[in-house]
Amino acid sequence: MTPAQCKSARALIGWNQLSLANAAQVGVVSVRQFERGTTEPRRATIAVIRRALEAAGVIFIDGNGEGPGVRLKRSP
Task: Tell me the pLDDT tens digit for each residue of 20-75.
Answer: 999 999 999 999 999 999 988 999 999 999 999 999 999 999 877 778 889 999 87
Give yes or no for a contact between 52 and 23, defined as CB atoms under 8 angstroms apart.
yes
Give dist(CA 56, CA 17) in Å, integer. 14
Q: Domains in the chain and their CATH numbers?
A: 3-72 (1.10.260.40)
The whole-number pLDDT of residue 63 equals: 75
Residue 76: the pLDDT is 59
Distance CA 38, CA 32 (A): 9
pTM (predicted TM-score): 0.90
